[in-house]
Amino acid sequence: MNKPCNQHIAESKEQLKAGSLKITSARLTLLDILKHAKKPLSIKEISLRLGEVDLVTLYRNVESLQNLGIVKQINLKDRQAYYELSGGEHHHHLICTNCGKLEDVQVEEIKLNKTFLKNHGFAKVTDHSLEFFGICKNCDR
Amino acid sequence: MNKPCNQHIAESKEQLKAGSLKITSARLTLLDILKHAKKPLSIKEISLRLGEVDLVTLYRNVESLQNLGIVKQINLKDRQAYYELSGGEHHHHLICTNCGKLEDVQVEEIKLNKTFLKNHGFAKVTDHSLEFFGICKNCDR
DNA sequence: GATATTAATGCAAGTCGTTTGCGTTTGTCA
DNA sequence: TGACAAACGCAAACGACTTGCATTAATATC
């Protein structure tokens, strides 16, 4: 298995302790990968960087980190899920339906005009999806 | 297989002809079901209403209709896809993460305040996802 | 520092939504 | 009405993800 770089290890250990998760190198490296990622990663992509950690362990670990609110799951038109750190600036995503290229978009920038497109190296935005998730009154009781 | 109601048959036939798809009762009924649906439906939900049409046929038909721009695929946190007619008023979705209850939301109504929540029978909105899909400059050449 | 406890891991197998291959049936058009 | 391509159904495959269970390793306690 690959080793995490030193930069974020202390912080990662803190986060795991705070969530009463055991500190394992699979988790430290996973956190390290996500902390260095410039875009949401699929399980496969994480796995490639992670080395010889079982996929099952990886699935279980991203789930634990999701439950702690450290990691966020992204759902695209793709059949697979993507993961990113949930801290950091609030943003959305811009995805090329042809090649899958993905860019982060800040909220203030969300104006579907030519400037917006130019800034992000996109020729056109053909579609978008906006979903709200919450708890309905029935489930809130 | 269930029969489509008469109301929309003519329109559906037109749509299929315009897309040079053959007019089959599987397709007419599928379109009829979507035209009467109040929310996006999963393949399973459509299949229940559709009766004895093979799932494979259903998958192929929603795909054809998607290619014609008649049907739109919705991706939620769920592992399965949902389908709705792509015509009609532009709107987004509000989904209960507990029970899966789904409501349509008009764009103008998108203000995350108490009134918004009350209007939709939701206790709280915990999360939302906003994804833009398009063609990047690289793929546009 | 050794040890008990409990969580984390790896492996095998299973599940579920979706897709593919292929032979048969059925719309459509001449 | 018959030819032909498109649509269909069935079986099997696929890929993302999950579950069960026995083994291993991190933490707490002595």
pLDDT tens-digit series, residues B76-89 = 888 899 999 988 77
Range scoring the smallest mean pLDDT among A47-51, B21-25, B135-139: B135-139
Please tell me the distance from the alpha carbon of residue B74 to that of residue B66, in angstroms, as a whole number: 11
CB contact under 8 A, A123 and B132: no
Q: How far apart are the first and last CA of chain A?
A: 46
Q: What type of residue sits at position B45?
A: E
Q: Do A99 and B75 touch (CB under 8 A)?
A: no
Q: Does A93 sit within 8 Å of B131, measured CB to CB? A: yes
**Which architecture does CATH list for B6-85?**
Orthogonal Bundle (1.10)
| Residue B129 main-chain phi, psi, to 5 deg | -130, 135
Chain center to CA of A36: 11
Give the residue from chain A lying closest to B116, CA to CA: A132
Nearest by CB to residue B76, choosing from A95, A127, A131, is A131
pLDDT average, residue stretch B58-74: 95
How many CB atoms are closer than 10 A to CB B40? 22
Closest to A75 (Cβ–Cβ): which among B77, B99, B138?
B77
Q: Using 50, 70 and 90 to split pLDDT, how confident is the model at A42?
A: very high
The contact set of B with A (CB < 8 A) is: 73-77, 92-99, 101, 105, 110, 112, 117, 121-140
- pLDDT at residue B6, as a whole number: 66
Rounded Cα gap, residues A135 and A50, in angstroms: 35
In chain B, residues under CATH classification 1.10.10.10 are 6-85
Q: Is B122 helix (H, G, I), strand (E, B) or coil?
A: strand
pLDDT tier for residue A119 given thresholds of 50, 70 and 90: low
Any alpha helices (H) in B1-141, and if so which ranges? 9-18, 25-36, 43-50, 55-67, 114-119, 137-140
Separation of CA A8 and C1' C7 in angstroms?
24
Nearest CA in chain B to A99: B139
3 state SS of B72: strand
pLDDT of residue B78: 85
CA of B65 to C1' of C29 (A): 23
Strand residue runs (E) in A48-121: 71-75, 81-85, 91-96, 102-106
Q: How many CB atoms lie within 10 A of CB B129?
A: 19
Q: Quick one: pLDDT at residue B82? A: 95
Give the integer Cα–Cα distance in Å for A94 and B136: 9
> How much is the pLDDT for B1?
65
Hey, of A131, A138, A139, A140, which one would you mutate to test binding to chain B, going by the most B CBs within 10 A of its CB?
Answer: A131
**Per-residue pLDDT averaged across A9-29, rounded?**
95
Cβ of A135 and B98 within 8 Å?
Answer: yes
| A4 and A15 Cβ atoms separated by less than 8 Å | no
Residues from chain B that touch A92, judged by Cβ atoms under 8 A, are 129-132
Q: In which band, very low, low, confident or very high, does the pLDDT at A64 lie, cut at 50, 70 and 90?
A: very high
Task: Supply the pLDDT for residue A85.
Answer: 95
Greater confidence (A110 vs A134) lies with A134
Q: Do residues B26 and B53 make contact, with C-beta atoms less than 8 angstroms apart?
A: yes
Distance in angstroms, CA of B117 to C1' of D13? 45
Q: Are the CB atoms for B41 and B25 separated by under 8 Å?
A: no
Q: Which of A25-29, B73-77, B103-107 has the lowest mean pLDDT?
A: B103-107
Q: Which residue is nearest to nucleotide C7 (CA to C1')?
A: A22
| More reliable by pLDDT, B114 or A79 | A79
